Amino acid sequence: MNNFFSNKKFGIVYNPIVKNSSEVLFALETLLNSKNLSYEKFTIDSMRAGVDFVFVIGGDGTLLKTARFYSKEFTPVFGINLGRLGFLSQSNECDLAKSIDKILNNKYKIEDRMMLVSNDGVLALNDFVIKGASASRTSRFYLSIDGKFVCDYLADGLIVSTPTGSTAYGLSAGGPVLSPSLNAISIIPICPHTLTARPLVIPSSEKITISTCDTCTSFIVVADGQDSFNVNSKIEIEKSKFSAKLALLDDNEFYSVIRNKLHWGVAPIGVQ
């Protein structure tokens, strides 16, 4: 076992409403106890600082919330997937013992993943989704970058995404897949009412401002599909000074993940 962990404390964050979370929590505790390792456990709504490495039991949503919280503590997080796709997670219930051994034997790496922050201080690891206050109609959004007007969109909304989030809602809306090592931000219109609106990829050093027309008093912003808030007239989004620290197993690099979980580049069945 890596001596680094002998004097460290693990954290376990679990989502009690996710199916099988109690069983996986018990199995993980049993493994850590068998190796005489110190740990503390929290529900997703009771996380606290003071641990050195965090195991996250749940789906991608649980991992996103945990990663945002511990980014300010510079603490790495490791996902154990109990959800559907589990794109950010590195292990599952069946491979738990094997994955823990890899962690303890230093067969993993820590990736810093870029995050976004709004002018209200809200963090997003995947994306911000901006929509009009009325869900029954399209809205007009004005986009400026570094104080310079770019264009306006008549659309259901806009997605402002990190490279990590490019395989989430942005992908479904026709946005590009970006390698997580890139320092870039993608801006993707949702169902634009025009044939000329296309996704835009910009450097992460640039600040994005999105505003509405004079007759629209507010719009809705959702961070990582979880934190929803109303914004009056405009929102500013830029790269955060904090980054999420994801613990990744050595054999789970980005391109194998999109190939295995998204079936990227796999020929249809029957095609030779």
Instruction: Flag whether pLDDT at 157 surpasses 60.
Output: yes
Q: What is the pLDDT of residues 42-57, one digit of tens each?
A: 999 999 999 999 999 9
pLDDT confidence band for 84 (50 / 70 / 90): low
Phi/psi of residue 62, nearest 5 degrees: -65, -40
Residue spans in the chain of domains classed CATH 3.40.50.10330? 3-106
Q: Which residue did the predictor score with more confidence, 249 or 216?
A: 249
Cα–Cα distance, 256 to 259 (Å, whole number): 5
> So what's the pLDDT on residue 252?
63
Which percentage of the chain shows pLDDT scores above 70?
88
Q: Quick one: average pLDDT of 179-200?
A: 93
Give Rg (Cα) of the chain.
20
Q: 221-253 burial by CB neighbour count: b if 16+ within 10 A, else e? A: bbbbbeeeeebeeebebbbbebbbbbbbbeeee
Query: DSSP H helical segments within 49-142, as ranges?
Result: 60-71, 96-104
Give me the residues paired with residue 231 across strands: 219
- The pTM for the full model equals 0.90
Cα–Cα distance, 103 to 251 (Å, whole number): 12
Block residue for tokens 């249809």: 268
Active site residues: 60
Q: Which of 46-55, 127-136, 187-196 has the lowest mean pLDDT?
A: 127-136
Query: Strands 53-58 and 77-81, how do they pair?
Result: parallel
Query: DSSP H helical segments within the chain, as ranges?
Result: 21-34, 60-71, 96-104, 169-172, 254-261
> So what's the pLDDT on residue 39?
95
Q: Are 119 and 236 in contact (CB under 8 A)?
A: yes
> So what's the pLDDT on residue 125?
97
CATH for 3-106 (3.40.220.10, 3.30.590.20, 3.90.1640.20, 3.40.50.10330) = 3.40.50.10330
Instruction: Flag whether pLDDT at 92 surpasses 60.
Output: yes
Residue spans in the chain of domains classed CATH 2.60.200.30? 116-240
In CATH, 116-240 is 3.40.50.300? no
Q: Quick one: average pLDDT of 99-115?
A: 92
Q: 163-201 burial by CB neighbour count: b if 16+ within 10 A, else e? A: bbbbbbbbbebebbebebeeebbbbbbbebeeeebebbb
Which percentage of the chain shows pLDDT scores above 90?
65
Q: Are 139 and 132 in contact (CB under 8 A)?
A: yes
Q: What is the pLDDT of residues 221-270, one digit of tens each?
A: 999 999 999 988 899 999 999 999 999 987 667 777 777 667 776 666 65
Return all residues near 232 (Cβ < 8 A) that are at least 6 apart.
217, 218
CA torsion, ordered 89, 158, 161, 199, to nearest 10 deg: 110
Q: Quick one: average pLDDT of 32-42?
A: 94
> So what's the pLDDT on residue 211?
92
Q: Quick one: average pLDDT of 64-81?
A: 95
